[in-house]
Amino acid sequence: MAEPEVAEHERAFESGQYLIDKRRCDRELRLSLFYAEHSDFTFQHVYGDKECFHLGWRRLDSEYAMPSAGPGWNVHTIVQYDFRGQILFQHRCQDKWRFGGNRFNDSLANESFCFDLVQSLASKWSGVLWRNEQPTPNEQALIESIQGKQAVYRRVGYDERVLQFDGDRMIGEGAAECERCWHINQVDSDMVLTLSRVDRPTCHLRQRDPQTWTGQWLEYERMSIELVFLDA
């Protein structure tokens, strides 16, 4: 690692904003990645992945530039400055943008504009990445071909049961906490059928043949999934 006394007497790197020429700094970046991949050891000596860059540059005796003005604080936001001492970034770390409402701070730049953007986005999108509010004609055709049908939901090596795909994108018969809703999205050239909880996806399935969709759980056991639609 870099000499401890060097890191001890230098200001820590700020989080989130770096401008790096990757063509010139490949060695430094690779060493920073090495420190991050061995965080069980590295983080005994420094705080956070941002300091992996600090160590990487110092260990290779490479120069870097940092604005003389350290970060400031404004209610819920870290304020970061450029080399002229002017505000460059406003890192809203304790009141992140959300549809449920934020605290207005008129001393931050562009605050009204940002609130307007969030309101505009909320009018167009539910905030759920996998929930398809405006399906394309191809997606809608697949949705209509699935709704009302039943399928055998097989958690390979665990269990299986029948799911009913209701017309409101909800699972009827066979629903459980991890299988409440269903969604269709086209990703590149593939159609993806997502089974989800109310607040997050459980699995993303791709079509293997006209009746069968396969994938795996995204968390917990991460078991393989087979979904086989039954003939009407």
pLDDT at residue 168 greater than cutoff 90: no
Q: Are residues 161 and 220 in the same domain?
A: yes
Give the chain's end-to-end CA distance (angstroms, integer).
65
Decide if 129 is inside a domain: no
Tokens read off for 146:
């699935």
Beta-carbon contacts of 14 under 8 Å, excluding residues fewer than 6 positions away, are: 50, 66, 70, 71, 80
In a domain, residue 171? The reply is yes
DSSP state of 127: S
Answer yes or no: is 163 within a domain: yes
Element (H, E) at 225: strand 224-229
In a domain, 66, yes or no: no
- Residue corresponding to tokens 């970046």: 29
146 and 217 co-located in one domain:
yes
Owner of token pair 């430094």: 28
Question: Which pLDDT does position 70 carry in this prediction?
Answer: 86
Residues 53 and 79 in one domain: no
Buried b (16+ CB within 10 A) or exposed e, 188-215: eeebbbbbbeeeebbbbbeeeeeebbbb
Can you read off the two tokens belonging to residue 8? 């001890």
160 shares its domain with 209: yes
Q: Please spell the DSSP secondary structure of 65-109, one letter per residue.
A: ---SSPPEEETTEEEEE-TTS-EEEEE--SS---TT-----TTST
Question: Who has greater pLDDT, 3 or 131?
Answer: 131
What pLDDT is recorded for position 7?
53
Contact status, residue 223 vs residue 158, Cβ threshold 8 Å: yes
Q: Report pLDDT for 188.
A: 93
Per-residue model confidence (pLDDT) at position 192: 98
Q: Would you say residue 28 lies in a domain?
A: yes
Tell whether 18 and 76 lie within a shared domain.
no
Please give the angle made by the CA atoms of 171, 152 and 142, to the nearest 5 degrees. 60
Residues 6+ apart with CB under 8 A from 174: 153, 161, 162, 163, 164
Examine the domain organization and report whether 180 and 219 are in the same domain.
yes
Q: Which residues contact 65 (CB under 8 A, 6 or more apart)?
A: 83
Residues 141 and 82 occupy one common structural domain: no
* pLDDT at residue 16, rounded to an integer: 66
Q: Are residues 145 and 91 in the same domain?
A: no
- Average pLDDT of 113-121? 96
Q: Would you give the DSSP letter of residue 46?
A: S
Residue 31 identity (one-letter amino acid):
L
Give the domain extent around 100. 72-124
Domain count of the fold of the chain: 3
- Report if residue 67 sits inside a domain: no
**Cα distance between residue 151 and residue 163, in whole Å:** 5
pLDDT at 232: 62
